[in-house]
Each structure stands twice: as structure tokens, then as C-alpha cells.
Amino acid sequence: MVCVQYQFVKLLCRLLRKSRLISYTHNIMEYLHSNLLCCSTSSPHRFGFDVPVILRSSDETESVLPVPEKRMVQVTNPFALEMGTSGVASVTEGVSLRPCCLEPCVLSCYWGCGVHALQGALQTHQHGPSRLSTPQQFQEALHFQYHHCQSFHISGENREEHYSEMPAELRITDFGHLPRERYPLVALLTLAEPEARDTYNIAASVTVVHVPDDKYSLSARILFQYLLTAQGNMYELKSLFMSAESMGLSGATDPAPSTEIPPERQEREHGKEEEKTPGMEDEEEWSQEGNAKDCVVCQNAPVNRVLLPCRHACVCDGCVHHFQHCPICRAFVLESFALFHNSPMGEEDEEE
């Protein structure tokens, strides 16, 4: 048994030498002479449990398939909406919303909007003869299935909070037990000026908001956000999971700085565009000044890769090719996309 184990260790050492792991080879040989030759044949399994077996070098990448890169198209999103911080949100007391738009917009709040009515309106936008780019069109697509509508006119880049509530005479204190037939609040953002509608591909933003009541006390939050394009497409906005320190100058409460859309779904629109969205100026400064959070793997290069489908932004361009599982949640990585497309350092030096 000792002879067989000795031959196995010699073979392992040869493989380690080929992998340039000389230090590990030396340690194993020392263990072999000090322990293996002295152990009795009555404990043949001791070697298997005591000696750490190194399967491959960290330099070997043949067995790790590179993560496919998902090509994304950056487009202009003139709308951003988040929950306000003033007051306590509830169905009886109302809720505070903070829009941030590039152009003058109209914020329309639909209280008690029917779930099936909203789904039908979104289907109408995608497959109907007309697009939903105004509050009037949206109301008609809903077939007026809501309890109350309140509108606010928002000036460009105005980040003031707006308080919306239902009239007390409606005497609505809750929307029933789960599952519900109505959303507490649906917020619609549309461009106020007709001329601006020809400038942006995104025509409207639909946000479904949960507001707590007596029957369901979950805190107020955004449930879904959809972007409706002038070409009849609909995209769901999803948050990226990043370290709070990696937010840099943008801050944790700023609106999402960019909108990424797969190019295969963008072919019918105006090609590949890279334009600015609310807060993107801060994002560019954050990238250029090198304030991005270091990669969680190498702790050297800035974070620039978002892993899908878990949406963790945690690794750099170099480390993303060495993992099949997310370093944060261990979910299997199907693909990734880059937050920024920077030119190589060599090209920058030549231009200087």
C-alpha cells in the first residue's frame, strides 16, 4: 500500500512541476519522507485525508470557459422616479415621489389601478395601433379602471418631491387581502412637450408602487418599472447590485444613471446610441477619477462587469473570464456586460 501511494505522489509531483508549483512539490515530498514511509499498512486511508491534493494550477484556464459577453446598447432615458423621504407613506395619508427628468414632464398618479387593466394597457402599447405617450392615451388604455388620478407638471431636472394622495371622500383605507385585483399606485411619466417626443426613443415610464394599508403593512417601495418606447417596445428596468462604496459620486439615492438594452431588441429603433441620462455626468466623473470600487477578486482593477442573471456588479474586465459562478452569491453566470467601454491603455498612451 505504501508503495502504491509513493508512486501516486511521484506522479502528482511531476504534474505539479509541469504546472510550475515547485513549492507545493517540495512540501509534498517532505511529507512523504516524514510521514508516509513511517505509517503502517493498517491505516491505509490516512494519506488520503491528511495530504491536501492540488488538482490544478491557478494559472490553468483551459477548463474554465469564458463568460459570454452580452452586447448592450446605451440609450437616453429622460425619466427617473424614486420614493420620496418626507412623511409616512400609507393609503390614507398618501405617498411622496421624487421624479428626475431631462425634459419637462407630466407625472400622473393612478390610485387603485386595476392589475388586469394595467396589463391590458401595456399589451395595447406593444400590439395596438397607437403608442402610449400621453396621460390621455394611457387612461383610455386602462379603460379608466382606477379610483383617482392626480397629475403634476415637472420641470426639467427638477428633483423636488411631490406628495400624492386620494381624496378623503373616497373613504378607501385598503385594497383588500392578497392576492389583490388592484395596485395601490401606478405612476406614469410622459414628456410634456410634443417636440421632445420626437427626440427620445423612450416615450413613457410606468412605475408600480406598493403603498402600505391596514390589510398589508409592507413598507412603501417600487415593485416594477417599465420603459415604453415610441416604436412599441417595452423594457423592464432592474437594479444592479453594487457595493455602497462603489456608487462613488452618484450617491446611493440618485436615479439609475443609464439604461442598457440588448441590441437585438433595438434593431428597429435608431441604431446604437450612447447618450446621457439623468445622473450620467456623475457616473462619468466617477469612472474617470478612478473612484470605482476595486474588483472583489483581484482588489486592483475597478469594477466594470455586471454578471447575469444575478446582476451583481463586482468584478473587473480581467477577472470576469476566470469564473463560472458569481463571487458574491455563487449563482451560475450565464453572461455579463460592461458598464463602460474604455479604450485600452496602450491606445491612450499612443494618442497622448
Quote the CA–CA distance of 18 and 95 in Å, as a whole number.
Answer: 66
pTM, 2 dp: 0.67
pLDDT of residue 129: 87
> Can you tell me whether residue 220 is helix, strand or coil?
coil
Residues in the chain where the model's pLDDT stays below 50: 2, 22-23, 25, 36-56, 61, 248-258, 264-291, 343-352
Tell me the CA distances in angstroms from 315 to 65, 126, 131, 246, 279, one per residue in order: 16, 36, 39, 12, 23
pLDDT of residue 45: 43
227 contacts 235 by C-beta, under 8 angstroms: yes
CATH class of 280-351: alpha beta
Quote the CA–CA distance of 82 and 107 in Å, as a whole number.
Answer: 12
